[in-house]
Structure 1
Amino acid sequence: MNTEDTNRPHRDHERAGAGTVALAELLDLDAEVLHDHLAELTAWLDDLTDRPPGHIVDLGSGTGTGTLALLERFPGARATALDLSPQLLHHLSKKAHGLGLAGRLDTVQADLDAAWPELAPADLVWAASSLHHMADPGQVLARAFDALRPGGLLAVTEMDFFPRFLPGHTGLGRLEARLHAALNDGPAADWTGALARAGFVLEARRPFTVDLPAPPPEATGRYARASLSRLRSHADGLLPGADLALLDTVLGDDGPDGILRRGDLTVRTTRTTWAARRP
C-alpha cells in the first residue's frame, strides 16, 4: 500500500496509540476476505524457497496476517513477529493460541528504525505493507539481509492501491473514486533498486490482482466499512461537505444505503511482492 495516503490507515502498525482496536479489526478482516490471495502468495513463496523454512521473521507484523499464514503454509517452521505495538502483538498471540500455533511463535516488541533485537538466522523474512513506513528503508533492508542465512529469501509486499468496494458506474462509486483521489500521495513504491543496494538478488517481482465480484465473502461489508471509515477519518477539508455527508450516510449502520446492507459490493485491488535472495 503506497499510492495514496491511504497509507495513513496502516501507519499505526509502527506506533502504539489511538485506533489500535480499529486497526486490528481492519487487518483481521483483510485477512479473512482476501484469504485466497494470501494462500496464493504463500504457495508462490513455497515454490521459491530453496528448502522448507525453519525460522521466519515478520517485520512489522501487526495482527499477524502474514505470520499465521506462513506458519500454516510451513508446518515445520517457527516465527518471530516484530512490531512496535504491544497491543497488536498481544492480539496476534491470542489468535495464534486459538489456532494451536502459539508454541511456534515468538512475539517481540521492537522499533525497526532503532537497534534490532538478537535474532536467530532466518530462512524467510516477510515484510508486508510495512517497509514504506520506515524512516530509513535502506537500513531496514540491510538489517534484513544480515538476519537471513545465505540462500534465505526476503518477501516484500506492498498494496498498489487501497481496495475499492463500491460499483464504479454508480454515484457512490464515483464518490469512492474522489475520496481516493483526494488522498493520493504519489506513485507506488518500487523496491527493486533498494533490494539490490542492500545486497539482495531479485528472484521475482509479481503483482497479484484481487477482483472479487458480487457477491463477495460474507465479511466484505464489515471490511468495506472498516476500510472506508479509516479513509474518511483523513478526508475532512479534502472533499466537499456534501461528499462527506453522503459518505457518512453510507458508513452508518441503519440506513437503506448503509454499506452493511449493500448487495453489490466488490473488492478490487492489486498487491505486488518482491522476492529477493541473500546470495
Structure 2
Amino acid sequence: MSNHSGHGHHHDGHQGLHHEPSAHGHHHGGSEPDWDVMAPLLERNAELSSAQYTEAARWIAALPTAPKVRRVLDVGAGPGVVACLLAEVFPDAEVVAVDGTPALLDRTRDRARRLGLDGRVTTLHATLPDELSALGEADLIWAGNTLHHMGDQRAVLAGFGGLLRPGGTVALVEGGLQARQLPRDLGFGRPGIEARMEAAEAELFQEMRAELPDARREVENWAALFDAAGLTPQGTRSFLLDLPAPLGDAAREQVVADFTRRSGGLRDRLDAEDLAVLDRLLDPEDPASLYRRPDVFLLLARTLHLGRRDA
C-alpha cells in the first residue's frame, strides 16, 4: 500500500486522508470528527485506491504459505471499502469489519448490502486495544494504518498473533510514501509547500503517539516486531497509486477535501507565507487553485508487511 516520506504514515488528521480510521476510537486533541462529513471522504479515498488494495489482497492469497481463509478481521475498517474487497478476493471467508465508530459500521453494512455481500461481511463494534480479545479467531487479520494508533504496538501485535489460527497471517499496512499532489514550484510562494506541510504533520503525528495510553517508542522495523510477537515475517511489498494530471473529478475533489482538512490543522504550524499559499490553493475562484489548475495529480505508495503464525 495505509497508507505516508520520512515517517511514512497516512495518518488521519495529520498525514492526509489516505486510509480508513482505526478501531481504537482515539482522535488527536480529543475531538470527535463530524462523521457525516468525514465518512464520505474516507469512502471515496478508499475507492480511489481500490486497485491497490485488491492487488495487495491477491498477493496474500497467492502466497505458497497462504492459509485457507475462512474468517478475516479487518481491524479499523472505516466505511468498509476494504472489507468488501477482501470478501471478493477471499470468496469462502466471513469478513468481520471491526471499528470503534458506529457511523462507519453503518456505512459498512450499507455497502455490503449494495454489493450483495451482507451475508458474508459483518460488523463488530470494538475499541482497541481494550477489546482485542473480543474479536475472535481469524485466518487473516488486516490492520490498515491501525497499529500506529496503539500505544504499545508490540503488545497489540502479539495480541493479533494470539487470535490467529495456525498458519494464519497478519497484514499490516504501515509506512509507504506520503502523497504528492502538486508540483514543487507552484509559480507563487516558496517552492516545496507539500514538504513543509509533511514536516509539520510529522511533528503532530509524534505528539499523537506520545499522548496514547501505554505509549512505547519502537523502531519501525516491522519484521523485527513480527519476530518479537512470535510471528514469522512473510515479506513486504509496496503498492502504488498513480493518478497523473489532469485528474478526474472524483480524484480532484478528494485532493481539495484533503487539503482543506489538512490546512485547518496546520494553521498554527506554518508561516504566514505558506498559509497565504494554502488560501489561494483553496479559493475556487483563483485560476491557480486546486479546483482549476491542470497540474494537480495524486501519487502515493502504501506498504504491506506480512507475518505468519506457524502451525
CA distance in 1 between counterparts of 2:9 and 2:187 reads: 23
Partner of 1:125: 141
Identity %: 33
Structure-2 change in CA distance of 1:161 and 1:19 (3 Å): farther
Amino acid at match of 2:258: S
Is the partner of 1:271 in helix, strand or coil? Answer: strand
CA distance in 2 between counterparts of 1:229 and 1:162 reads: 17
Partner of 1:175: 193
Query: Are the counterparts in 2 of residues 113 and 136 from structure 1 also a CA contact under 8 Å?
Result: no
Q: What is the count of residue pairs matched by the alignment?
A: 279
User: Gapped runs of 5+ residues in structure 1?
Assistant: none
Deviates more, 1:31-40 or 1:140-149: 31-40
Offset at residue 4 of structure 1 (A): 6.5
CA distance in 2 between counterparts of 1:263 and 1:219 reads: 15
Structure-2 change in CA distance of 1:6 and 1:50 (3 Å): closer
CA distance in 2 between counterparts of 1:159 and 1:26 reads: 21
Offset at residue 117 of structure 1 (A): 4.9
User: Gapped runs of 5+ residues in structure 2?
Assistant: 14-18, 27-31, 207-217
Partner of 2:209: none
CA distance in 1 between counterparts of 2:271 and 2:227 reads: 44
Amino acid at match of 1:134: M
Q: Of the candidates 38, 43, 52, which is equivalent to residue 58 of structure 2?
A: 43
* 1:80-91 → structure 2 map (5 Å cutoff): 80-91=96-107
Pair 1:29 & 2:44 matched: yes
Query: Are the counterparts in 2 of residues 4 and 180 from structure 1 also a CA contact under 8 Å?
Result: no
Deviates more, 1:237-246 or 1:207-216: 207-216
Q: Of the candidates 73, 92, 102, which is equivalent to residue 57 of structure 1?
A: 73
Query: Are the counterparts in 2 of residues 59 and 83 from structure 1 also a CA contact under 8 Å?
Result: yes
Is the partner of 1:162 in helix, strand or coil? Answer: strand
Is the partner of 1:270 in helix, strand or coil? Answer: strand
Q: Of the candidates 256, 268, 272, which is equivalent to residue 303 of structure 2?
A: 272
CA distance in 1 between counterparts of 2:237 and 2:280 reads: 38
* 1:1-279 → structure 2 map (5 Å cutoff): 1=3, 3=7, 7-9=11-13, 13=22, 14-15=24-25, 17-48=32-63, 50-171=66-187, 174-185=192-203, 189-279=220-310
Offset at residue 126 of structure 1 (A): 0.2
Deviates more, 1:143-152 or 1:32-41: 32-41
Offset at residue 275 of structure 1 (A): 1.0
Query: Are the counterparts in 1 of residues 47 and 81 from structure 2 also a CA contact under 8 Å?
Result: no
Offset at residue 8 of structure 1 (A): 4.3
Offset at residue 122 of structure 1 (A): 1.0
Q: Give the aligned CA root-mean-square deviation in angstroms.
A: 2.5
Task: State the TM-score, normalized to the length of structure 2.
Answer: 0.81
CA distance in 2 between counterparts of 1:85 and 1:72 reads: 24
CA distance in 1 between counterparts of 2:172 and 2:137 reads: 18
